[in-house]
Amino acid sequence: MKKYLPFLIVLAVGLLTLGGGTLLYRAKLRATAAAAKNSKAAEADKAKALHVRGEAKAPVTLEEFGDFQCPPCGTLAGALKQLEKDYGDRLRVIFYEFPLRVHEHAREAAFAAEAAGLQNHFWEMHDLLYQEQANWSKGTDVRGMFKAYAGTLGLEVDRFLRDMESAEVKARVASEQKLGTSRGVESTPTVFINSERVPVPSLNPAGLRAMIDKALQEKPAP
Listed by start position, the domains of the chain span: 58-209
pLDDT at 49: 84
For 38, 56, 128, 137, 146, the CA distances from 141, given in Å and listed in that order, are: 46, 38, 17, 10, 9
Query: Which residues are bridge partners to 91 per DSSP?
Result: 60
Rounded to whole angstroms, how far apart are CA atoms 74 and 135?
12
pLDDT at 25: 45
Rounded to whole angstroms, how far apart are CA atoms 54 and 95?
12
Cβ distance 116 to 122 under 8 Å? yes
The upper half-sphere exposure of residue 218, i.e. CA atoms within 13 Å in the direction of its Cβ, equals: 11
Q: Name the burial class of residue 120, with classes exposed (0-12), middle (13-18) and buried (19+) by CB atoms within 10 angstroms of its CB.
A: exposed
pLDDT by residue for the chain (222 residues), tens only, comes to 555 554 544 444 454 444 554 433 454 446 444 444 444 433 434 445 899 999 999 999 999 999 999 999 999 999 999 999 999 999 999 999 999 999 999 999 999 999 999 999 999 999 999 999 999 999 889 999 999 999 999 999 999 999 999 999 999 999 999 999 999 999 999 999 999 999 999 999 999 999 999 999 986 545
Task: Say which CATH topology domain 58-209 has.
Answer: Glutaredoxin (3.40.30)
pLDDT at 48: 52
